Amino acid sequence: MKPLQRGMPIRRFHESHGLNIELQEGGVVAKRMASFANAITFSEKPLKQGEVFLIEIEDHEKGWSGHLRCGLTQHQPSQMTQNRDPLFNTNLLRIPQYSMPDLANMGKSWIFAITKYHNRVPSVGRDAAEGTSPASSPKPFIEGFGNYVRCGGANLPKHKLVGRDKEGGELLATCIGSRIGITYEIVDGAVEMHFIINGDDQGGAIMDQADLDQPFYAMVDVYGTTKQVKIIQLDLVITLQECCRDVIRELVSERGVDGLPLPTKLKEYLKFEVP
């Protein structure tokens, strides 16, 4: 297995993107160079279930309305083009000017507009089933453990998911410094998309008519007042210490950790209460 070079980005934006987008820093930064639209971008590679595609808002541009739009698509970016010439002879799909409603109306895409305050998805389906007791409820797909967030089977450091307000004010979802993650889970043959905004899961949104045999790509529309976004790399080389913790947690329940003949600090580490 070839080792990764230090500083080499694991996730990038796809080379197919909207007409007004310029990719920088080796494909990690997407900047809208003009106007307020034609700024759709895609992940370079499809996302696996539970894999988080995380971006940070880096710059704004005043004078426009609306903010960032994010989601998942099953349109393959390599089969899309920004070319607008009517004489351009190709079977490729043209990247639309807007993700909403244009890309959404093409089907195979599930997109939400990120707003300042209201991004939480109402509980539906299995989570809102009448008469379901907490003991019989399925294990949450995304849950917090002190300084970590578990997404699927992966433990992510919470400080990587939470952005920082550069101006010291309240960090809203659309602020510079805000971090937005996109992921999905498959439950009983249905696909649910999740947004993790500054470390907080917004709930699962059902993706109607998703094809389980086709890959899912992250879609980020650098729209409106949002001027520039950057991918935050989450793929870290696991340490021996983290490996040991994972093995112990597989053998001992959460409550069982307190009964182990170990120092308090080590118990806190096993329970994700300290980094």
| Residue 139 counted as domain residue | yes
CA 149 – CA 47 distance, rounded (Å)? 18
Contact 198, 178 (CB under 8 A): yes
One domain, residues 272 and 166 = no
One domain, residues 70 and 85 = yes
| Residue 119 counted as domain residue | yes
| Residue 11 counted as domain residue | no
Q: Kindly report the CATH number assigned to the domain that includes residue 269.
A: 1.10.750
pLDDT (0 to 100) of residue 124: 52
One domain, residues 132 and 248 = no
One domain, residues 230 and 258 = no
One domain, residues 127 and 255 = no
270 pLDDT band, cuts 50/70/90, is confident
183 pLDDT band, cuts 50/70/90, is very high
Tell me the pairing of strands 190-197 and 200-206. antiparallel
- Of 6 and 104, which is predicted with more confidence? 104
| Residue 6 counted as domain residue | no
Q: What's the average model confidence in pLDDT over 132-159? A: 75
- Quote the domain boundaries for residue 58: 21-236
One domain, residues 262 and 202 = no
| Residue 7 counted as domain residue | no
- Of 68 and 266, which is predicted with more confidence? 68
One domain, residues 56 and 189 = yes
What are the φ and ψ backbone dihedral angles of 95, each rounded to 5 degrees?
-70, 120
DSSP bridge partners of 201: 196
One domain, residues 219 and 246 = no
| Residue 111 counted as domain residue | yes
One domain, residues 65 and 179 = yes
Cα dist from 200 to 151, 188, 248, whole Å: 11, 24, 27
One domain, residues 259 and 143 = no
| Residue 12 counted as domain residue | no
Q: Which of 79-93, 120-134, 147-161, 232-246 has the lowest mean pLDDT?
A: 120-134
Q: Which of 18-22, 164-168, 189-193 has the lowest mean pLDDT?
A: 164-168
- Of 140 and 186, which is predicted with more confidence? 186
In this prediction, what percent of the chain has a pLDDT beyond 90? 56
Q: How many domains does the chain have?
A: 2
Q: Kindly report the CATH number assigned to the domain that includes residue 97.
A: 2.60.120.920
Task: Give me the amino acid identity at 180.
Answer: I
For the chain, the 3-state helix, strand and coil shares in percent, each to the nearest 5, are 15, 30, 55
pLDDT (0 to 100) of residue 111: 96
Q: Which of 65-74, 79-88, 130-139, 211-220 has the lowest mean pLDDT?
A: 130-139
What is the average pLDDT score of the chain?
85
pLDDT (0 to 100) of residue 4: 38
238 pLDDT band, cuts 50/70/90, is low
Contact 210, 217 (CB under 8 A): no
Kind and range of the H or E element at 154? strand 154-157
Cα dist from 92 to 16, 20, 129, whole Å: 11, 19, 43
One domain, residues 153 and 184 = yes
One domain, residues 255 and 206 = no
| Residue 94 counted as domain residue | yes
